[in-house]
Amino acid sequence: MRLPPLSRAALAATALMTGLMAALLGGPAAMGQGVNLAPPAPIPMQQPSAPATAPQPTAAIDENVAFNHTERWLIPRYFSNVRGNQSHASRAKKYQRALPKGIEKMPQKGDVLSPGVVASLHRLPGPLLRDLPAARPDTERLVVGTGIIMLRRSSGEVLDILHKAIE
């Protein structure tokens, strides 16, 4: 008995199904039998690693981790708009922007703030955060008095400062 001729697509589908069935059922093609394969390469022995050393002190501040041009423009503009909107309100209050307890003067680049002081600082407002680019990994932008600082979360190190961003 002779079978009808198959099209190329039907032949390809038949070959594909035959290969899949062999793989699922664990046939000789699936196990690598009958196929000339090179023997697997030997796994290299791992050398014992050197003993762990003490963590290295933080490197110098990376200049790439600083407020970019967009942040330097948007942050002061946002706070000036808020201040302008407050002045038009009937009961506008001007709040003094004092430094939080534990800080005598505005921190400088490279200063390390204690976790207690960092916890007392305010985060930037949500509407401003939506407009700003995403914060870099392990950094946080905080309000300190009339300025904004970029802080490394893991160490409390001040990476960059925007002086007098809030008037």
Predicted TM-score (pTM) of the model is 0.57
- 134 in a domain, yes or no? yes
**Residue pair 118/156 in contact by the 8 Å Cβ criterion:** yes
Average pLDDT over residues 16-25: 67
- 51 in a domain, yes or no? no
Domain of residue 114, CATH code: 3.10.450.160
pLDDT at 50: 53
Q: How many domains does the chain have?
A: 1
Of 124 and 96, the structure prediction assigns the larger pLDDT to 124
CA distances, 147 to each of 61, 85, 119, 161 (Å): 19, 20, 17, 7
Of 116 and 6, the structure prediction assigns the larger pLDDT to 116
Residues 37, 153: Cα–Cα separation, whole Å: 53
- 59 in a domain, yes or no? no
- 18 in a domain, yes or no? no
- 40 in a domain, yes or no? no
Locate all alpha helices (DSSP H) within the chain, ordered by sequence: 8-25, 69-87, 115-120, 126-131
Domain that holds residue 103: 69-75+97-162
